[in-house]
Homo-oligomer: A and B are copies of this chain.
């Protein structure tokens, strides 16, 4: 048995290639749209992808199952559980599976277990390496059981608009867990997400766990009372990114094929001026520091870091072409791929950084800068400025600047009316990255004196200043 795990950091998402070493047949579980990863892994291991599957209709990224099956000629195994609302709407070379079904990939037996809760059609796979006996070796649990957490049952209601489903989902999840706990302690658990995913609230940083360990340590598996579990699992969940609303329906009817789309063109520097004038959406993917040192007013700062896909999902509209500014060709491609993960395919072209300077030349206007302020200077002005903390609710609850206000970055743009436009605004986050994006939003909204707290609450804390919190 060969097992390879792929981790897409920007989505905190795990997918797997599992192969029978004896026959060279392989299955891919929960693929995203980064196809080459799976094809290359199969080539490296000398195995052939004959099956593709997914644990459920994902809400947080565009599924690559359909296209990977097409590129490889593999059979697509899809859940036929859940009611009519949850049936997949695409169907070439598909085999529908139900609770209790089993299929072989070479000598590996895959048993299907229906595990509703996160979503109604959710399934998990129990894998047995049959030449080694009858002991189940691994469970691929998707968004059912994570390391240290479980898949949230409120997402459909909170992100996809399925009113009144979250309590029922929580109860179904409790029952799915009860059943799951009866499996052996030594079972490996391979979930579909890691730390940082918005599909749960307390995911750990270890890629794998065991049922024995989770039963002792995972808060969700330790609760034995259904109502206590329901209350707990619905509390304190992070705000789902705006783009989640788009994913379910696309993944259900069949995600668009990436291979149908041309790569975005490199555009000549001075076309930027004309596009900005026409009000085109331009995402400046350069590092925060470059944006801070000089950018074109009206452009949106989403630096090509770990959070790129997520913030793009909050701020970039679907179905409107938009443009990128990237440090170079490699970065433009990386950004395009990162956007494709959530179906933001409408990149109409990209500009190199010289385009920013060219805009200034052509318009005769200075580039706009984002001013940094350090924590000492902030303290000196603390009563004069408004400090906006743009972190998530949990981070805010865990400790904050005494004089800060909390406005989450994802919804900041719609939450500015009561700010005093005459007073300076200092934007703050954990270490200065998200607050730079926040500065860009405020500047584009017409605020004039906006500063970024260099190093965020981390530098502030390290310098010994007081923090309010638990």
Contacts and interface: CB of A to CB of B under 8 A. Distances in A.
Given A3-B205, A293-B372, A364-B463, A262 B265 contact: no
* From A42, A366, A464, residue with most partner B Cβ within 10 Å: A366
Contacts of A2: 195, 205-206
A260 interface: yes
Contacts of A94: none
A191 to B, nearest CB: 14
B270 A72 contact: yes
A384 interface: no
A215 B204 CA distance: 27
A245 interface: no
Contact of A186 (B205, B211, B287, B288): B211
- Contact residues of A: prevailing secondary structure: mixed
Contact of A213 (B72, B186, B214, B262): B186
Given A267-B71, A269-B48, A289-B293, A366 B454 contact: yes
Interface in A342-361: 349, 352, 354, 357-358, 360-361
A271 B42 CA distance: 14
A268 B36 contact: no
A3 B206 contact: yes
Interface residues of A, number: 95
A212 interface: yes
A454 B294 contact: yes
A48 B268 contact: yes
Given A293-B292, A454-B367, A74 B463 contact: no
A208 B208 contact: yes
Given A268-B48, A290-B287, A217 B361 contact: no
Contacts of A260: 262
A73 B217 contact: no
B217 A133 contact: yes
B186 A208 contact: no
Interface of A: 1-3, 5, 19, 21, 24, 35-36, 39-40, 42-43, 46, 48-49, 71-74, 129, 132-133, 135, 137-138, 148, 184-188, 195, 204-217, 259-263, 265-271, 274, 287-290, 292-294, 329, 349, 352, 354, 357-358, 360-361, 364-369, 371-372, 374-376, 431-432, 454-455, 458-459, 462-464
Given A43-B354, A72-B271, 18 more contacts: A24-B361, A36-B266, A40-B329, A46-B354, A48-B268, A71-B267, A71-B271, A135-B213, A184-B212, A187-B212, A259-B262, A262-B262, A289-B289, A289-B294, A293-B432, A294-B372, A360-B462, A361-B462
